[in-house]
Amino acid sequence: MVTNSFPSYITQNKSIFDFKKKLKINNNNLIYRISIKKNGDFHSKIENNDKINSDLSLHEMADKLGSLLSRGEFSTISIQEHHKGHLESTMHIAVVFCKPLIKDMITIEFERRVSILLSQIKKDKLRPDTIAFVGGNDNKNSISGAKAGYIYFRRLSLEAKLDLSGFEFIIEQEVSSFRDNLDNLLITLEKKYGKEAISRCHFTLISSDYHLIRIAEIFKLSRRQSILFPLVKINATWTYLFAAYPFCVSPDPTLAFLGRIRVLANDLAIVLVNLNGLIRFNDLVAKENFSRLCETNQKLQKMLKIMPGSENSFPSTDGCIKLSTSQWEVLERGLCAIHEAQRILSPLMNGESVERRKLVHARDLFMEVVKNIRFTIDPDRPVTNYELVLSLDQVKTENIFKNLDL
């Protein structure tokens, strides 16, 4: 039964939006910052490869960042590069993580990743030597995400009258895995510039905020399995350039609900990677990850309380959440699977052992939940022709971050 609309749920949980404009945590001489800009861009900075320590889970951080986005309460903060990273590097590579297309069309979320790259270059806040678009084809489209991103970037640059003659471009699209494409990119760079040159490369990684936060968390807790591990092996440095995920703060309650579920699934993906490390490499399950699992379970339960039961008809009034039957079923099954995985892993937190077959079962449950949410709950959609024309017009007037209607 519906007990509340989604907007009222947010109102009753205002505490999750109390977020400082800067998060600075010192641990082993590492500084991890998130700087916030008025136009909805985020830039995070890692000054070395030591451990990152954060008290915020991914979905909590996304909630708090999203609240600031919705209110537009940002001061303009210039982007700073790490002195021992970018300023001493021989080469600066911007890497855009490209999202798969939908029916051969760029999506709202993907468009934001490309637009922020153009914005930073146009404002002279980012000046890479090479721009790489990475992302394969899921066999549902006739063109890869990487190639589509490159074409769209050039089109935006043309409208913005941005001279691209000083940039080199690389498209990595051979496989669908970001890690494999990043490995292929390093091989391409080594062949082109030599091993010594790429050992002093600085990378700016560009993607949606929740995606990059997940990458940073996995690197902190499961370094060997992180897609950043190859960068560590070549002594490269990197920074993050966040594109704001728009759906968590959508005025449409259904889109906002789906967006937050999507972010919760990424928290589960962090736990999944850690659990896989336990099975494959006998890594320890971080207490932080078990806490993340419990918090995600509790948050998902609270969110499902505001949804109609499967036996009830879905309300059609404004301000209520409207989900399809398949989405409802995915969330119900997912909640049961998460609870079962939590039960299996609980003994580990007490120093007890768990049979390998049970650990594999828990991992498989996680994989199924994350996969189903990604394919069923994702609120992302193709950019319409009208929105495309609008974006191109905004580029001409240098107002490329006016939000598309969601």
In tens, the pLDDT along 51-91 reads 334 445 555 555 555 555 444 443 333 333 333 445 556 78
Q: Which of 62-71, 177-186, 222-231 has the lowest mean pLDDT?
A: 62-71
Tens of pLDDT along 309-334? 544 334 433 458 889 999 999 999 99
**What would you report as the CA-atom Rg of the chain, rounded to the nearest whole angstrom?**
21
Measured CA to CA, the distance from residue 51 to residue 143 in angstroms comes to 38
Q: Which of 49-53, 118-122, 132-136 has the lowest mean pLDDT?
A: 49-53
On whether the CB atoms of residues 133 and 169 are closer than 8 A, the answer is: yes
The sign one gets for the Cα dihedral 260, 264, 265, 266 is: positive
Residue 48: is its pLDDT beyond 90? no
Q: Output the CATH code of domain 251-376.
A: 1.20.120.430
**Measured in whole angstroms, how far is the alpha carbon of residue 250 from the centre of its chain?**
17
Please give the residue that has the higher pLDDT: either 113 or 391: 113
On whether the CB atoms of residues 70 and 17 are closer than 8 A, the answer is: no
- pTM for this one? 0.76
Tens of pLDDT along 147-178? 999 999 999 999 999 999 999 999 999 877 88
Measured CA to CA, the distance from residue 296 to residue 57 in angstroms comes to 9
In which band, very low, low, confident or very high, does the pLDDT at 200 lie, cut at 50, 70 and 90? Answer: confident
Tokens of 163: 């001279």
DSSP helix/strand/coil, 178: helix
Please tell me the number of Cα atoms within 13 Å of 1 on its side-chain side.
Answer: 1
Measured CA to CA, the distance from residue 42 to residue 54 in angstroms comes to 17
In which band, very low, low, confident or very high, does the pLDDT at 26 lie, cut at 50, 70 and 90? Answer: very low
Tokens of 233: 């092996």
**Measured in whole angstroms, how far is the alpha carbon of residue 101 from the centre of its chain?**
16
Tokens of 174: 């051979």
Residues 6+ apart with CB under 8 A from 83: none
Strand ordering across the sheet containing 168-172:
25-27, 30-36, 41-46, 237-243, 201-208, 91-97, 130-134, 168-172
For the chain, give every domain's residue range.
Answer: 81-246+382-396, 251-376
Length, in residues, of the chain: 406
DSSP single-letter state for residue 99: P
On whether the CB atoms of residues 282 and 77 are closer than 8 A, the answer is: no
Of 240, 189, 249, 176, the residue nearest 213 (C-alpha): 240
Cα–Cα separations (whole angstroms), residue 344 to 30, 257, 287, 293, 362? 35, 28, 15, 12, 7
Tell me the backbone φ, ψ of residue 90, rounded to 5 degrees: -85, -20
Q: Judge residue 79's burial from the number of C-beta atoms within 10 Å of its C-beta, 0-12 exposed, 13-18 middle, 19 or more buried.
A: middle
Dihedral through CA 218, CA 221, CA 227, CA 228, nearest 10?
110
What are the helix (H) ranges across 88-142? 108-122
Residue whose token pair is 């120093």: 351
